[in-house]
């Protein structure tokens, strides 16, 4: 910019020089004009020619002055634009460093909290290890006593042949006691090795009892063209822990206009670290993911409200996780068909214990803040509204929604195919088949046991949220732009509800969007809730990935209360 300013100043000086030369020429012409005026009487025959030349020179002078004024205005506008760009660049740099300072402060506070928690865990572990060492010492002393007794018995056996048989039996008994003591020592050592695993399980159980929303993070693999572009390596992501609960992102630097995007993205050296209940690497299969949520799905049969929803930017693999691909196989089957399969299989097993279940399915989407019945007859004039079932509760229902009784997995699969065909999708620059709505599959489970008189009523909600995307990068226009704004607004309202719950505010803005109003019993009520945060491995999506992971961290810290079993009245 300084070079541009210097060049503009040099051009301005050059024009100024030309202006001075024109001024000198004008003065010379005026002098000649006055001389010619004095000679009018003597040279009348030249008057007409000189007058014409003077007028011509005057026109040229006016043209030069006009060009000079135009040049002045042009370069003045360019100087103003350069000054404005300088101010904007300075403001952008200031905002960038302010954001980096906020990120560092957040990371420092997070590390301090982790340090305090680890110190408490270390203290408890040391106390338990001290107790185990004391027990080992006692076992060792007892073993030493038994060995002394065994040696004395052996001496007595050598000196007394007559009591040999009795001593043999006593030695055999003593050897059994030694073996038992050795077994106890081995068991104590095994308990020491298992202590850390048990502590982690207890920690997860405590978090669930506290009512926190559990969060799983899933990183999708690189696709064919992405694998070719990146040599099959995800360079800005790492998974440092063996328990699969931590995801690290390399902090990417600002891009340089003179270098490629890929090169500029790799220049960062700092890291962002995120911890969740589970982090699935790109190689994780659908079966591995479902194994982690299978117990949560089982809770729906036990009479709990269970909600599992997928969140993330467009193209991060949410629909694949929840439903699977179009050409579904046993291996690629998503969470919804797997959950339904487990529920029906378990229900058949429980029939031997007297349980009988009835299942009712519904499938809707929220498109541009309008509810669509994906299992209905397609009538556009039917308006669906969310209503409270009873005062004092968070239970809601949707008016005129199609509720289909189901008795087999195949029936549910056919409903899923029908809903998938009716769901609103469109192509954007971020994803060639982008979901433009929030889809909500719900399965109501009503159970009764004639042998014990027990009954239960559970609700399984599986939600595939619409993909978040930046309007600038998505290239959305017209209807696509309207859809993107509605999606981002509803996801923003979801974040506001999460923050209100985390801050334990008296008022939670559930009704600001149809999505949060419908899910209020899953977010702030009596429910077991799990969120998948799906992220893309592409470096170009780094900023969207960072935003998704930060939002998921806030969700993971949200306390919604302990879930309780619902008994059918």
Q: What is the pLDDT of residues 177-202, one digit of tens each?
A: 888 888 887 787 566 546 645 644 55
Q: Note the pLDDT tens digit of each residue in 486-509.
A: 888 888 898 888 888 878 888 889
Q: Tell me the mean pLDDT in the region 362-373.
A: 90
- Closest by CA position to 568, among listed 446, 432, 418: 446
Kindly state the tokens that stand for 567.
């008994």
Asked whether the predicted pLDDT for residue 430 surpasses 50, the reply is: no
Q: Which contacts (CB < 8 Å, 24+ apart) does range 8-17 have?
A: 8/75, 8/78, 8/79, 8/82, 11/75, 12/72, 12/75, 15/68, 15/71, 15/72
- Mean pLDDT across 88-97: 79
Greater pLDDT, 239 or 5: 239
Is pLDDT of 329 > 50?
yes
Helix axes 542-556, 479-502, angle to 10 degrees: 30
The residue with greater pLDDT, 552 or 422, is: 552
Q: Given a cut of 70, is residue 254 above it in pLDDT? A: no
Summarize the confidence of residues 53-69 as an average pLDDT.
Answer: 79
Summarize the confidence of residues 458-470 as an average pLDDT.
Answer: 84
Task: Indicate the SS3 state at residue 426.
Answer: strand
Under DSSP, the state recorded for 213 is P
Output the pLDDT for position 218.
96
Between 30 and 528, the higher pLDDT residue: 528
DSSP state of 448: E
What integer pLDDT is reported at residue 431 of this predicted model? Answer: 43
> Is pLDDT above 80 for 232?
no
> Average pLDDT of the chain?
79
| pLDDT computed for residue 201 by the predictor | 54
- Residue 26 scores a pLDDT above 70: yes
Q: Is the pLDDT of residue 257 over 60?
A: no
Q: For residue 264, is pLDDT > 50?
A: no
Tokens of 118: 């680890």
Residue 260, pLDDT > 70, answer no
Q: What would the pLDDT profile of 199-220 be if each residue is shown by its tens digit?
A: 445 544 655 555 568 899 999 9
What would the mean pLDDT of 316-344 be, rounded to a whole number?
Answer: 90
Rounded CA-CA distance 436/484 in Å is 7
Spatial CB neighbours of 98, under 8 Å, sequence gap ≥ 6: none
Whole-angstrom CA distances from 130 to 124, 200, 202, 379 are 10, 20, 20, 71
**What pLDDT score does 6 carry?**
81
pLDDT confidence tier of residue 268, bands split at 50, 70 and 90: very low
| For range 251-265, the mean pLDDT | 51
Tokens of 260: 């490629």
Instruction: Say yes or no to pLDDT of 261 above 50.
Output: no
Residue with the larger pLDDT of the pair 530 and 34: 530
On the question of pLDDT at 468 being above 90, the answer is no
Q: For position 193, what pLDDT does the model report? A: 44
């Amino acid at each position: 910019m300084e070079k541009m300013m210097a060049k503009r100043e040099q051009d301005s000086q050059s024009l100024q020089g030309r202006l001075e030369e024109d001024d000198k020429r004008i003065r010379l012409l005026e002098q000649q004009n006055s001389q010619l005026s004095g000679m009018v009487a003597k040279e009348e025959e030249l008057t007409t020619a000189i007058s014409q030349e003077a007028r011509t020179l005057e026109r040229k002078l006016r043209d030069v002055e006009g060009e000079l004024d135009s040049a002045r205005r042009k370069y003045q506008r360019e100087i103003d634009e350069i000054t404005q760009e300088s101010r904007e660049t300075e403001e952008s740099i200031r905002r960038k460093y302010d954001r980096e300072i906020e990120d560092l402060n957040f990371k420092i506070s997070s590390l301090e909290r982790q340090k305090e928690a680890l110190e408490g865990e270390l203290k408890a572990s040391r106390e338990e290890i001290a107790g185990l060492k004391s027990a080992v010492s006692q076992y060792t002393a007892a073993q030493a006593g038994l060995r002394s007794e065994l040696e004395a018995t052996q001496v007595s056996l050598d000196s007394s042949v007559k009591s040999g048989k009795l001593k043999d039996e006593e030695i055999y008994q003593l050897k059994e006691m030694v073996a038992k003591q050795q077994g106890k020592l081995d068991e104590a050592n095994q308990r020491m090795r298992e202590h850390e695993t048990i502590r982690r399980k207890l920690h997860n159980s405590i978090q669930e009892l506290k009512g926190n929303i559990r969060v799983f993070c899933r990183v999708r693999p690189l696709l064919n063209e992405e694998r070719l572009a990146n040599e099959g390596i995800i360079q800005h992501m790492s998974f440092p822990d063996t328990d699969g609960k931590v995801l690290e992102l390399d902090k990417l630097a600002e891009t340089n206009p003179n270098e490629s995007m890929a090169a500029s993205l790799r220049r960062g050296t700092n890291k962002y670290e995120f911890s969740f209940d589970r982090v699935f690497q790109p190689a994780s299969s659908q079966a591995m993911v479902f194994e982690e949520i299978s117990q949560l799905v089982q809770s729906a049969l036990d009479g709990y409200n269970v909600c599992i929803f997928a969140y993330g930017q467009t193209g991060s693999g949410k629909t694949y996780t929840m439903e699977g691909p179009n050409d579904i196989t046993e291996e690629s089957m998503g969470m919804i068909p797997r959950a339904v399969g487990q529920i029906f299989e378990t229900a058949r097993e429980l029939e031997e214990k007297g349980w009988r279940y009835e299942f009712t399915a519904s499938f809707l989407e929220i498109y541009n803040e309008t509810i669509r019945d994906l299992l209905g007859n397609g009538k556009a004039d039917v308006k669906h509204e969310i209503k409270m079932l009873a005062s004092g509760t968070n239970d809601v229902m949707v008016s005129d929604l199609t509720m289909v009784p189901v008795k087999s997995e195949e029936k549910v699969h056919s409903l899923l195919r029908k809903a998938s065909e009716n769901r609103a999708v469109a192509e954007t620059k971020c994803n060639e088949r982008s979901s433009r709505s929030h889809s909500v599959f719900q399965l109501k489970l009503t159970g009764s046991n004639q042998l014990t008189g027990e009954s239960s009523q559970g609700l399984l909600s599986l939600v595939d949220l619409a993909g978040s995307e930046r309007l600038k990068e998505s290239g959305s226009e017209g209807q696509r732009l309207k859809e993107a704004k509605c999606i981002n607004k509803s996801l923003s309202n979801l974040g506001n509800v999460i923050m209100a719950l985390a801050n334990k505010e008296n008022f939670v803005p559930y009704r600001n969007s149809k999505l949060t109003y419908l899910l209020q019993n899953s977010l702030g009520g009596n429910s077991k809730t799990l969120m998948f945060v799906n992220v893309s491995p592409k470096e170009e999506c780094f900023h969207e990935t960072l935003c998704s992971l930060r939002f998921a961290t806030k969700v993971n810290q949200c306390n919604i209360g302990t879930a309780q079993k619902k008994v059918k009245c």
